[in-house]
Amino acid sequence: MTELRTRPPVAFPSIPAALSHWARERPDATAYTFVGTELAVEHTVGYRELERSAQKVAVYLQRTARPGDRVLLLFPPGLDYLTVFLGCLYSGVVAVPLYAPRPGAKLDRIAAVAESCRPTHVLTTDQLAEKLGETFLPEDVAGGPGVHTVEAMLTSDHELFRPVELAAGDLAFLQYTSGSTGRPKGVMVSHGNLVENETAITAGFGVRTDDVILSWLPMYHDMGLIGTALLPLFYGIPAVLLNTFAFVHDPMIWPTAIARFGATCSGGPNFAYQLLVDRYDPARLTGVDLSSWRVAFNGAEPVSEQTLRSFAARYAEHGFHADALYPCYGLAEATLFVSGAQPGAGHRTGLFDRGALEKGRLQAAAEGSANAVAIVSSGAAALGTTVVIRGEDGTSLPDDAVGEICVHGPSVAQGYWGEPVASEGTFRARVTGHQGTFLRTGDLGAVQDGQLYPVGRSKDLIIVAGRNFYPHDIESVGSLDSPYLRRGAAAAFQPDPGERDVVLVLETTRDGVAALRADEETAHALAERVRREVAAGCDVHLSDVVLVFPGSLPKTSSGKIRRAETRQRHLDGTLRLVLRPRPAPVGTPSVEPNTGRETLRDTLGRLAAAHLGYEPTPEDHKQPLAALGLDSLKLVTLKGGAERLLERPVDAGLFYGDRSLAEIAEELAATPVPATSPTTPSTGTPGDGTGTHPASEGQVQLAFHDELHPEDTANILPTALRVARRLDPDRLRAAVASALTRHPALRTTLGPLGTGTQVVHDSLPLDFQLREQESEDPQEARRFLEDVAHRRFPLTSGPLVRAAAVLTPTSTLLLLACHHVVVDYWSLRIVMAEILADVLGVDDTPAPAPAPGVGAIEWAGAQKAVLDSETAKTHLTALTERWHPLRDQLLLPQALPARRRRNPAAVVDFDVDAATTRQVHDHGRARGHTPFVLLAAAYLRALHRVTGHHQIVIGTPHHGRSDWRYAETVGYLVNMLPLLGDFREGDALDELAERTWRELRTVLDTAHIPLSRLIRALAPERHGQHPLFQATLTFQQSAGGWLDDGFAIPWSGCRQTYGGVELEAYDLPPRDVSFAFSLYGTCHGDRLVFRLQYQRELVAAGEAARVCEEFRAGLRELIALPQT
């Protein structure tokens, strides 16, 4: 099988020569466009700029290294990686690209590669250099390599670049395979190999001058580096490089990006196409046109006919042509590309008889045969490449015969670094009937009609997501030093070579059989430890760990374990099992638990049942929590239950709604108990906290607001309700007094302005006002309650809590009003629940008691400790950089005096019908997020349409109770988080909800940084309005409290019976409001209810009404999108 390709018109002796050519010919043309999350262009680079940067790196390396020296490259994907790699090529040193280590990951692989290639230098970034140090290098290597950062290389003094003469046989880089963790193999790729393979790919793809390459593939992998990063540079066409991790998080950005940037050539392994099939979302593809995509290459792992067919069918309606599908075959040992389809001809699939295939022949299956096997052709041999099929005796096999695929040509690499024996056997094999030497790929296949049909892999090689793993690695790492396991008696394999599952079978010792059978939990723990070690050491997640009796594994006469036969016995169920430990949850690596995984899963299920109203089924355990209908605050409550169980804080990101109960249990079990963190209160077990203490950042900010607006009442939180019974006034007074005694926050005042302190008193006067009426006079009662509710509080003398009641013969109007510096809505829920429970004599109230020993004072102290940490300072710096461009934006650019005495409020009340409300919840569940995401998306777009701004920032409150110990703390713990809606590319709704969800996740990750700190760092202009944002969105929920959510929006008229007594919400509209627009909402019964508060001196009534209408219209349009 020889190539029938046409050599392309461009020809260069090396990649640096190609870059320098294009830098002369078209210096300012864009070579690369780097795209981040949400398809935002992060930066572009032209040929001349790239050449200059690469040559700066080369000059630096010429001063510090010699041609042929090996240098490790440790970079995240991006321009720095590409620049440094090219600099290595220019200077003649040998680049050794590796995965940039993840935080907390083991560095064994880096150390093993360093031991193999003996690098003289390590090239990385400032940030990674600080984290790595030199501890990852073997002791006898660590003294040699110097660690150099790209920042230093690009900014140091540079003399003129002295070109290095690069011969075709000179090494360009080492591509390390996923070989043995003790002895990884480095494929030696020469400059000539690179040029020949790029030429072959160019011919194979039929690359044209008007092509645009787009890739999400990591550049430290051969397909990403050679096939998509260097290819466009070689041919002189533009490339668009997506953030790899953005694709991993959201695969749908791939087709969206192809349409956005007009890409013509793009591809990846088969699993990537399957992801696009599995996550197909037509709503997100509205308006997406894929007709430009003419080469959709698919390689690096077995290509599935089903995947290709499904992909073509799904994406046809978006302009994708099935004839663009381009299956191909390649491997690192051949630089990359070996064979590929004819561009524009689509893929060819053969239907072969399974029986004949098992005997080593390709034979067409009878039409309609149930015994047919579909095998996708990988096309014809690449330009300059010869592919032959070799039999076990070394002879060349005829067409249709299955044997080992062997490759000859100028792209075949030079061998394995430092492995002359392995290189001789793999790279310089002989095939009878053919001249020259051949690369033995270890893959099985056959040729028919000039087409290569890979039919499998060598009996041992494991391929997962396009990456090769060797069974010995997994077996070696998984054979723990345990009295229950026999060393060296293990077999790793894939039950189905087309899937990702990997099984490890381990023989136990004779003593281990009895011990493990007697104690299943010990066996389960052992299996989990095996999973943890394999995941950490090999980056392989085992789907099953099987423990078998001693001597159960079949072996050859020389004592080698027969993996293929072990796999077959596993599939047949004939292995002698000690027992089969529980399989790992799908998609999550297994690691050593601190708490039993099953216990966690069961407990989380019971906690969730309290909110769901039923016990979750096994299938429910696999669904995202938001898909089960758990809203934001219920998720917080669930998180608190998990923290109580573990008696430690857990990652808030697990409870954003997009994880399942099974995934959370797995993650919690995997997380070791942390040492004391800055968020842990260090005050010991406090008493009542009396005395002077630091105020929280939020309290200081509220005090400053009150100073600027001396008549404003926006920071007073009143809550009122009607009780359909005349309450005992003495009992009512006692209940209010008891609440003040129980919660130090209610006995707190602030220190003088500027001191940043708060004072907890032993006691404060009880401000309780009572009015009795013989008959109910609504107007008189309202005037009385409004006077009490809106009367300003003296922040430094207090009290900052007051209560009032209007008693009639048949009812009681009860009011509780507090200043925001001592409570938030969460706190009001707790306090009102306790007062009513005391007054009504209800002992079985489900309102939880406050957690002992941690209150608002401890929370403020913990906040200070967090903010003093280096992590918080880093987060603040990043936030400042992010929000700086928007710091002075005004929704309504009307200057107002900074010292207005008050900000009078007006309101618009509206609701959303039951059908729309139900669809909002259903839509969120289907997409795996809470209803708040849709509400935020609709509100952002409404403000965009009303104000005309293309970047809208709103504030939304975060509860401040990420640590379970503060779940029932009464105090002001809330932090306002800025949330961005970016409409610079239009306000279409197809991606808006997903963008909003990603944005919300981003801001939640830094919810511990107070808004006041961010504002100070931004130093915005004083314009009389709130800095950064002038609109807020608050969705009130009871978080499992016994009061219906409708009480949060009192105009709803919410009614509820408790303890045999009817309660009804009582509306006291706000007198003042802090922001231009503040939208409050909740779910009452079967409908969503809202109140828009707005500053009537700044916002016209018509403008406010239009915001509400646009908001409702946005909701209706969002829910009309397909639910995927």
Same structural domain for residues 848 and 877? no
Domain CATH for 477: 3.30.300.30
pLDDT at 297 over 50: yes
pLDDT for res 587: 33
pLDDT for res 678: 36
- In which band, very low, low, confident or very high, does the pLDDT at 610 lie, cut at 50, 70 and 90? low
Nearest CA among 871, 869, 887 for reference residue 1014: 887
DSSP for 752-800? STTS-EEEE-S-----EEEEE-SS--HHHHHHHHHHHHTSPP-TTT---
- 551 in a domain, yes or no? yes
Question: What pLDDT digit, counting tens, does each position of 488-500 carry?
Answer: 688 999 887 756 7
Question: What pLDDT digit, counting tens, does each position of 936-947 carry?
Answer: 999 999 999 999
Residue after which a domain boundary falls, among 544, 579, 614: 579
- In which band, very low, low, confident or very high, does the pLDDT at 885 lie, cut at 50, 70 and 90? very high
Q: Lowest mean pLDDT: which of 367-371, 456-460, 916-920?
A: 456-460
- In which band, very low, low, confident or very high, does the pLDDT at 844 lie, cut at 50, 70 and 90? very low
521 Cβ partners below 8 Å, 6+ apart? 596
Nearest CA among 1073, 982, 1064, 1072 for reference residue 1034: 1073
Backbone φ, ψ for residue 34 (5° rounding): -100, 125
Question: What pLDDT digit, counting tens, does each position of 530-559 carry?
Answer: 887 887 656 677 888 999 988 888 865 334
pLDDT at 472 over 70: no
Same structural domain for residues 752 and 849? yes
Same structural domain for residues 660 and 752? no
Domain CATH for 873: 3.30.559.30
pLDDT for res 589: 28
- 117 in a domain, yes or no? no
- 494 in a domain, yes or no? yes
pLDDT for res 274: 82
- 880 in a domain, yes or no? yes
Q: Give mean pLDDT, residues 911-919.
A: 85
pLDDT for res 382: 95
Domain CATH for 637: 1.10.1200.10
Question: What pLDDT digit, counting tens, does each position of 203-218 carry?
Answer: 999 999 999 999 999 8
Same structural domain for residues 745 and 648? no
pLDDT for res 557: 38
Q: Give mean pLDDT, residues 667-688.
A: 50
Position 925: which residue type? Answer: R
pLDDT at 572 over 60: yes
pLDDT at 581 over 80: no
Residues 440 and 408: their CA atoms lie apart, in Å, by 9
Residue after which a domain boundary falls, among 521, 552, 579: 579
pLDDT for res 590: 32
Same structural domain for residues 696 and 842? yes
Question: What pLDDT digit, counting tens, does each position of 6-18 carry?
Answer: 666 768 999 999 9
- 81 in a domain, yes or no? no
Same structural domain for residues 1077 and 989? yes
Residues 600 and 291: their CA atoms lie apart, in Å, by 49
**Exposed, middle or buried: residue 93 (CB in 10 Å: 0-12, 13-18, 19+)?**
buried
Residues 819 and 824: their CA atoms lie apart, in Å, by 9
Most confident of 311-320, 442-451, 1082-1091: 311-320
Q: Lowest mean pLDDT: which of 330-334, 679-683, 870-874?
A: 679-683
Question: What pLDDT digit, counting tens, does each position of 1049-1065 carry?
Answer: 888 888 877 666 888 99
Nearest CA among 153, 26, 44, 27 for reference residue 90: 153
Q: How many Cα atoms within 13 Å fall on the side-chain side of residue 610?
A: 15
pLDDT for res 646: 66
pLDDT for res 4: 47
pLDDT for res 316: 96
Same structural domain for residues 612 and 732? no
pLDDT for res 137: 58
Same structural domain for residues 641 and 696? no
pLDDT at 1034 over 90: yes
pLDDT at 968 over 80: no
Same structural domain for residues 573 and 720? no
Residues 480 and 245: their CA atoms lie apart, in Å, by 32
Pairwise pLDDT comparison (275 vs 990), residue with the higher score: 275
Same structural domain for residues 666 and 749? no
Domain CATH for 814: 3.30.559.10
What mean pLDDT, rounded, does the chain reach?
Answer: 84
pLDDT for res 592: 33
Q: Give mean pLDDT, residues 582-587.
A: 44
Tokens of 62: 């010429």
Residues 827 and 814: their CA atoms lie apart, in Å, by 17
Residues 2 and 342: their CA atoms lie apart, in Å, by 14
Residues 171 and 190 sit within 8 Å (Cβ to Cβ): yes
- Provide the residue range defining the domain that includes 1113: 864-890+907-1120
Counts of helices then strands in the chain (DSSP H, E): 34, 42
Position 519: which residue type? Answer: D
Question: What pLDDT digit, counting tens, does each position of 132-164 carry?
Answer: 655 555 555 545 578 899 999 998 877 788 999
pLDDT for res 1100: 92
- 230 in a domain, yes or no? no
Same structural domain for residues 758 and 642? no
pLDDT at 919 over 80: yes
pLDDT for res 683: 38
- In which band, very low, low, confident or very high, does the pLDDT at 785 lie, cut at 50, 70 and 90? very high
Tokens of 155: 């900014």
Give the helix/strand (H/E) hosting 296. Answer: strand 295-298
Most confident of 2-11, 49-58, 718-727, 952-961: 49-58
pLDDT at 584 over 50: no
Nearest CA among 349, 441, 450, 364 for reference residue 403: 441
- 1096 in a domain, yes or no? yes
Of the chain, the percentage scoring pLDDT greater than 90 comes to 47
629 Cβ partners below 8 Å, 6+ apart? 612, 921, 925
613 Cβ partners below 8 Å, 6+ apart? none
- 1035 in a domain, yes or no? yes
Residues 541 and 535 sit within 8 Å (Cβ to Cβ): yes
Tokens of 290: 């894929």
Q: How many domains is the chain built from?
A: 4
pLDDT for res 122: 92
CA dihedral 692, 694, 698, 703 (to 10 degrees): 50
Same structural domain for residues 953 and 1061? yes
Question: What pLDDT digit, counting tens, does each position of 76-120 carry?
Answer: 889 999 999 999 999 999 999 988 776 555 677 788 888 899 999
Give the helix/strand (H/E) hosting 841. Answer: none
pLDDT for res 156: 83
9 Cβ partners below 8 Å, 6+ apart? none
885 Cβ partners below 8 Å, 6+ apart? none
Residues 441 and 857: their CA atoms lie apart, in Å, by 67
